[in-house]
Structure 1
Amino acid sequence: MGLLLKYRNQLQDYATKLFVLVIYAFLYSLALNVFWRNGNIYAGGITGASQIITTILERITSSPVPISLVYYALNVPLFILGWFLVDRKFVLFTVIGVTFASFAIQITPSLELTKDPIICAIFGGALSGYSLGFALKHGLSTGGMDIILLSLRKVTGKSIGNISMIINGIIVLTAGFIFGWPHAFYSVLSIFVAAKATDLVYVKHKKVQVMIITQHPMEVSTQLQEQLIRGITVISYAIGAYTKQERAVLITVITNYEMEILKEIMKEADPNAFVSVSRDVEILSEFKELDII
């Protein structure tokens, strides 16, 4: 019965994740086809690179080039890279997300609501930022850019934020150099709006304190350290006032970004544990930001 319940919960979780990816793909395709492309705005990451390559190919061939195919093609080698360097479950959902997004980009009509670059930058950034935050809130990755960031993080030791700024900077400067500097400035505006919109939906680095009361402290702490790589304080020999049974109390601090991972860990390690989450905690000592998706 317990095993059946576990599989049912897992299927429900996967169904929710797939639904979230469909919503993300639809909103992101609107941002690209309705606003960015009509306003000649270049996004960051793989999407921005796809836009630049597509524009160059269209100028060379004088014929339309499906940006959805370019976008998917650029992601394929990153899937392979991530399969060997990053968590495989993470890569699998990334493949699904990119596939949904490519299909949505292909079928979504390019409606010309406006060509005003400021409007296109603001609304395109807002839509893409909201869709990204919505996906991240459910513990999902949305594209190969995440794989690049995690892989370079392992090789260089630099933070993901710094690597992301460098990559997006290169894309924006390339767009400005090839297509004109106004495009670069408007693209920076769109990237900024997208980042703010993402934060409104999902604040990645917000700290939360987690207290876990469990009868299986070794199993829980082992999985927490393996998957979250966080310091954990273990208080042994706590006694339940009502049951008089012995428990252990585990205390750790993680980010909002890692909450979905924590939930998955607890489902496997000890689904009967009592977990209390305190938000908006203030950290006085050093807290290392980790790059776990």
Structure 2
Amino acid sequence: MDLEKLSRRYRTLTRISAALLYAIAVSMALNFFWEPGGIYASGVTGAAQLMNTIVTRLGVGFLGTPFWLVALNLPLFVLAWRKIGHRFTLFTILAVVLSSLLLHFSPMRKLTVDPILCAIFGALFNGAGTGFALRSGISTGGLDILGIVLRKKTGKSVGSINIAFNALIILLSGFIYSWPHALYSALGIFINGRIIDMIYTQDQRLQVIIVTNHPRTVIAGIQEEMRRGITIMHDAEGAYRHEEKTVLLTVISQYELHDLTQVMHESDPHAFVSVTPTVRILGHYYEPKRE
């Protein structure tokens, strides 16, 4: 019981740290690069920037991007509470509130006037913060929540869903600001999505084919360490030595690839293992429940 409490406290501290790290990253991305360079961010953050631009031109600019960031996330908090998990939602609210506060109170600095550099480095900071937050079991709000919900139905990665939703942001930024800056924003959004996918690998599926002489040991290791279902194909034969083999088929996440490597090293280091990306999975696939 004590170990369980310690583990829970460790996860809580990790999520709080991830929320703070994300808040620092997004405030740097916006205040140092995107806002000074006229670059719009992805998702709800970009929508908050657009809303701030519109109301500023209408003479109501005192609200600011931080206000709209919280306001636009409110209905998504309700969606996360119902569809994902309560603790997950609470940490998401923490991440959004912290980022809004840091955006409001941290000074805006123009490190460069080059919009391309602003788009790239803003995306690097924001993508890294978002990816680390997702990997730590929390969301940064906005399209992250929609991405997680829709991923369960479509099988698409969070970064890809993020990019798909941002076509509207790019079009609106072109009409409201300028078309060159819309293209720079598109560059930043693309890089942001790729950085997220590089760091948050839990939703990237891999098909694993294992040819082994010790199927029982391998199966026990995978099911004990990774909790994955395995299909067993008996009576396979190696073409070189004509030895009887067993072929095992399973699907894991990119995040679990290191665990699979360790299991194979301990259970059958001489087994042949083929790992390939898989686009979509139909049927039951176990995913740990978010809390």
Structure 2-normalised TM-score?
0.72
Relative to structure 1, is the Cα distance of residues 41 and 11 closer, same or farther in structure 2, using a 3 angstrom cutoff?
A: same
SS at match of 1:253: strand
Corresponding position: 1:276 with 2:263: yes
Residues 128 and 199 in structure 2, CA contact (< 8 A), matched pair in contact too:
yes
- Distance (Å, rounded) in 1 between the aligned partners of 2:28 and 2:17: 17
Residues 123 and 192 in structure 2, CA contact (< 8 A), matched pair in contact too:
yes
Letter in 1 for 2:74: V
What is the deviation of 1:35? Answer: 0.5
CA deviation digits over 1:148-178, x for unaligned, max 9? 2344567x85845664333200111111122
List aligned pairs for 1:15-164, cutoff 5 A.
Answer: 15-61=13-59, 63-152=61-150, 157=154, 159=156, 163-164=161-162
Letter in 2 for 1:134: F
- Distance (Å, rounded) in 2 between the aligned partners of 1:258 and 1:88: 25
What is the deviation of 1:19? Answer: 1.1
What is the deviation of 1:123? Answer: 1.0
List aligned pairs for 1:123-272, cutoff 5 A.
Answer: 123-152=121-150, 157=154, 159=156, 163-204=161-202, 205=204, 207=206, 213=220, 231-233=229-231, 252-257=250-255
- Distance (Å, rounded) in 2 between the aligned partners of 1:117 and 1:137: 30
Residues 162 and 193 in structure 2, CA contact (< 8 A), matched pair in contact too:
no
Residues 207 and 249 in structure 2, CA contact (< 8 A), matched pair in contact too:
no
Relative to structure 1, is the Cα distance of residues 147 and 203 closer, same or farther in structure 2, using a 3 angstrom cutoff?
A: closer
Residues 44 and 69 in structure 2, CA contact (< 8 A), matched pair in contact too:
yes
Residues 155 and 280 in structure 2, CA contact (< 8 A), matched pair in contact too:
no
Question: After the TM superposition, which of the residue ranges 109-118 and 192-201 deviates more from structure 2?
Answer: 192-201
Relative to structure 1, is the Cα distance of residues 169 and 86 closer, same or farther in structure 2, using a 3 angstrom cutoff?
A: same
- Tell me the number of residue pairs that the alignment of Structure 1 and Structure 2 aligns: 252
- Distance (Å, rounded) in 2 between the aligned partners of 1:66 and 1:109: 14
Letter in 2 for 1:61: G
What is the deviation of 1:256? Answer: 3.0
SS at match of 1:26: helix
What is the deviation of 1:192? Answer: 2.0
CA deviation digits over 1:1-38, x for unaligned, max 9? xx122101211221122112211110111001110000
Percent of paired sites with the same residue: 36
SS at match of 1:282: strand
Unaligned runs of 5+ in 2: 211-217, 233-247, 266-272
- Distance (Å, rounded) in 1 between the aligned partners of 2:264 and 2:171: 43
What is the deviation of 1:134? Answer: 2.1
- Distance (Å, rounded) in 2 between the aligned partners of 1:286 and 1:19: 32
What is the deviation of 1:199? Answer: 4.2
Runs of 4+ more than 6 Å apart: 208-212, 289-293
What is the deviation of 1:287? Answer: 5.3
- Distance (Å, rounded) in 1 between the aligned partners of 2:219 and 2:2: 25
CA deviation digits over 1:58-88, x for unaligned, max 9? 1101643321111011111111122222333
Relative to structure 1, is the Cα distance of residues 254 and 182 closer, same or farther in structure 2, using a 3 angstrom cutoff?
A: same
Question: After the TM superposition, which of the residue ranges 173-182 and 62-71 deviates more from structure 2?
Answer: 62-71
What is the deviation of 1:50? Answer: 0.4
Structure 1-normalised TM-score?
0.71
